């Protein structure tokens, strides 16, 4: 009996330990370059590339689909999702004339960019989780932004991050504060800390769904955060799974705003989305780290966004030089819903920041 009890305690302890490891954030701010060095990688980009090329070769094995629109000051757009690029450049980008040159790129692991994994890497569950996160998680995305800066030949970047991409842009500005000219964060995901005070996006969606939709969302979330099981899926199945959140979001949005329209999206990333969820974990606090950001920051909140203004305000409070502008008549995608207002607001801010 003692042996059985001891075995049960051992199993329970192992399960608790695995739960803790799977819940911790695998991304550690301030360690991007050290992590690359440990894997024998660098931030150098293959030479001889054009800034307006259809693909950016950021490493020997990874190239990013890229589209440029406009002339003038370089602006790099960091899309959200996570892992969901826009189908085409934002409408607002065509309304800034010759003042801004917008760079849209699909992050590694989605859209038309390279996919490091089509199946889970070899090894045990923990080793596979670490491999996916290291190649596709937040550190990899920050490293690609730094490579893009070098490829563009810019001393400092101007970044426009949308939704989850706003978190990526802000973390880049904290990792290398001296390399960012200005930040525009559009409908930023309030993931400065997790769990999110007041509820995250899933909470906002769940409260607006009917009973059937709530059951569907609960099932989707259960599958999403069962990381060992998700590692058994291939890239296509993972991408299909993460894309299934879109109809639930649309259903929740239209209950509040029946005429709301969502812009088209490109091909979602499967292992990319998984890698980013692993980076976030279930608990972290990056508020102290984000105080390193030096860049002047404009935070845009759509008055009709499912995300409440209070959540966006917490992002503003975490950044030393941020100010909030609320756009009436807009939701989560103001660059499509109110493109003229969005273009004018961003252009004025960037002109002021440059001065």
Average pLDDT over residues 250-262: 86
Q: What is the predicted pLDDT for the residue at 1?
A: 44
Q: What is the predicted pLDDT for the residue at 18?
A: 41
**Is there a domain that residue 274 lies in?**
yes
Sheet holding 180-186, edge to edge: 55-59, 62-70, 100-105, 73-78, 157-162, 180-186, 296-302, 322-327
C-alpha 272/C-alpha 165 separation (Å) is: 13
Q: What is the predicted pLDDT for the residue at 69?
A: 96
C-alpha 184/C-alpha 323 separation (Å) is: 10
**Is there a domain that residue 191 lies in?**
yes
Q: What is the predicted pLDDT for the residue at 355?
A: 75
Task: Indicate whether 143 pLDDT > 70.
Answer: yes
Number of domains in the chain: 1
Q: Is 72 left (phi over 0), alpha (psi -120 to 50) or beta?
A: left
Comparing CA positions, the residue from 273, 287, 275 lying closest to residue 194 is 287
CATH code of the domain containing 317: 3.40.50.1820
- Domain boundaries, position 333: 6-354
DSSP 265: B
Average pLDDT over residues 326-345: 96
Q: What is the predicted pLDDT for the residue at 22?
A: 52
C-alpha 295/C-alpha 110 separation (Å) is: 28
**Percent of the chain, pLDDT > 70?**
94
Contact 322/316 with Cβ under 8 angstroms?
yes
Exposure string of 287-298, with b = 16+ CB inside 10 Å and e = fewer, is eebbeebbbbbb
Task: Indicate whether 13 pLDDT > 50.
Answer: no
The secondary structure element, H or E, covering residue 297 is strand 296-302
C-alpha 229/C-alpha 3 separation (Å) is: 31
**Is there a domain that residue 44 lies in?**
yes
**Is there a domain that residue 160 lies in?**
yes
Comparing CA positions, the residue from 273, 285, 271, 299 lying closest to residue 169 is 299
Average pLDDT over residues 263-281: 94
User: Strands, E, within 86-163: which ranges?
Assistant: 100-105, 157-162
**pTM as predicted:** 0.92
Residues of the chain by 3-state class (helix, strand, coil), percent to 5? 45, 15, 35
Beta bridge partners of 296: 182
C-alpha 1/C-alpha 254 separation (Å) is: 59
pLDDT tens profile 85-95: 999 999 999 99
Average pLDDT over residues 72-89: 95
Task: Indicate whether 2 pLDDT > 70.
Answer: no
Computed over every residue of the chain, the mean pLDDT equals 91
**Is there a domain that residue 1 lies in?**
no
Task: Indicate whether 138 pLDDT > 80.
Answer: yes
Average pLDDT over residues 178-182: 98
Residue 8 pLDDT class (50, 70, 90 cuts): very low
Alpha-carbon distance values, 18 to 14, 52, 126 (Å): 6, 45, 9
Exposure string of 12-37, with b = 16+ CB inside 10 Å and e = fewer, is eeeeeeeeeebeebbbbbeebbebbe
Structure tokens at 290: 């984000």
Task: Indicate whether 198 pLDDT > 90.
Answer: no
Comparing CA positions, the residue from 244, 283, 280 lying closest to residue 129 is 280
Contact 270/237 with Cβ under 8 angstroms?
yes
Task: Indicate whether 44 pLDDT > 90.
Answer: yes
């Amino acid at each position: 009996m003692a042996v059985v009890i001891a075995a049960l305690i051992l199993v329970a302890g192992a399960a608790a330990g695995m739960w803790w490891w799977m819940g911790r954030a695998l991304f550690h701010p301030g360690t991007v370059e050290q992590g690359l060095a440990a894997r024998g990688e660098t931030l150098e980009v293959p030479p001889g590339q054009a800034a307006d090329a259809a693909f950016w070769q950021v490493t020997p094995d990874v190239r990013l689909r890229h589209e440029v629109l406009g002339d003038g000051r370089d602006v790099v757009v960091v899309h959200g999702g996570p892992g969901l690029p826009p189908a085409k450049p934002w409408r607002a980008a065509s309304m800034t004339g010759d003042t801004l040159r917008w760079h849209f790129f699909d992050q590694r692991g989605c859209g038309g960019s390279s996919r490091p994994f089509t199946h889970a890497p070899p090894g045990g569950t923990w080793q596979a989780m670490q491999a996916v996160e290291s190649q596709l998680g937040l550190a990899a995305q920050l490293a690609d932004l730094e490579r893009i800066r070098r490829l563009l030949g810019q001393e400092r970047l101007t970044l426009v991050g949308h939704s989850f991409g706003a978190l990526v842009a802000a973390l880049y500005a904290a990792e290398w504060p001296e390399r960012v000219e200005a930040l525009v964060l559009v409908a930023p995901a309030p993931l400065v800390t997790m769990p999110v005070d007041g509820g995250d996006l899933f909470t906002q969606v769940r409260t607006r769904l009917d009973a059937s939709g709530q059951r569907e969302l609960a099932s989707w979330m259960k599958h999403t955060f069962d990381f060992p099981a998700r590692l058994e899926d291939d890239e296509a199945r993972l991408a299909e799974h993460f894309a299934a959140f879109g109809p639930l979001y649309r259903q929740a949005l239209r209950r509040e705003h029946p005429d709301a329209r969502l812009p088209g999206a490109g091909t979602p990333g499967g292992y990319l989305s998984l890698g980013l969820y692993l980076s976030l974990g279930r608990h972290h606090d990056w508020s102290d780290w984000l105080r390193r950001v030096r860049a002047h920051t404009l935070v845009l909140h759509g008055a009709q966004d499912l995300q409440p203004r209070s959540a966006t305000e917490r992002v503003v409070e975490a950044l030393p030089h941020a100010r909030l502008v609320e756009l009436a008549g807009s939701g989560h995608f103001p660059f499509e819903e109110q493109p003229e207002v969005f273009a004018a607001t961003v252009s004025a801010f960037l002109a002021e920041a440059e001065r």
